[in-house]
Amino acid sequence: MVAELIDGKGFALGLRERIATYVTHLKAEHGVTPGLAVVLVGEDPASQIYVRNKAKQTVETGMNSFEHKLDVTVSESQLLTLIGRLNADPAVHGILVQLPLPAHISEKAVIEAITPAKDVDGFHPENVGRVASGEGGIVPCTPMGSMMLIRHTLGDLSGLNAVVVGRSNIVGKPMAQLLLAQNCTVTVAHSRTRDLPALARSADILVAAVGRAEMVRGDWIKPGACVIDVGINRVEKADGSGYRVVGDVAFDEVREVAGSLTPVPGGVGPMTIACLLANTYLAACRIHGLATVGAF
């Protein structure tokens, strides 16, 4: 068996095209243009590239993009003041502060300062609670994109065993909530889980979101399982000529056992930005009390 590769890049392109259609309708029928404000503190190269891609794709879908680049020495109070202005700005429907932040700024304080209606990352405690209780909170982008790929690949998930490796607030915990909402039987594994390989082998759906390069091996996989690799890790090439990007899954091994598998890159990664745009569109509709045109 060789696993079917799940084309996150292609799926994300189709999702962005649908969002662009919905935005066109929102403008024409209601005069509303969704606006996304992205705040970048400092000059981390990876974050700069990510923010640039976000801005480019925001504009391509017909939305307004507002970029705020702040010096690494900006104070927490200055950043919170900016967030307050964005909360009050009617042209801004989504606010994203790029993480991580410098050590002198509290990520918790920043996340909680963003009004929940504009929290398109889905990190505010109110949205976390709403997602957990099934009350329509904004879903974090990476789990949202992962769930889209799983449902597209498998269809009805009722009764399937799902194992999420990783318990972060950003991916692991919300991923488990989304799988529960689809009637899966869900186990969240972590660094203290006993006999993790045996647990992983019980999974019809395995989501690897632990941040350790190629940790999940081929003999951890139940034959035919759907494997979602959320990891993005830079490892040095064997010949020392630079770095390559790998996931949390040993791709070549797992591909020989799994039924379907997301590659890295080109799997979950492209879905994250596309889902950020989806959340911005949804936030704009909710803020203006408008029904959405289509579902995601």
The residues annotated as belonging to the active site are: 54, 98, 121
The closest alpha carbon to 293, from 25, 27, 14, belongs to: 25
Which residue shows structure tokens 């705020």? 68
The closest alpha carbon to 284, from 94, 157, 54, belongs to: 94
Contact of 221 with 254, CB cutoff 8 Å? yes
Q: How far apart are CA 233 and CA 196, in angstroms?
A: 21
Give bridge partners of residue 246 from the DSSP assignment.
Answer: 233
Distances (CA, A) of 276 to 22, 32, 64, 115, 122: 15, 18, 13, 16, 10
Contact of 80 with 101, CB cutoff 8 Å? no
Which residue shows structure tokens 């990007």? 245
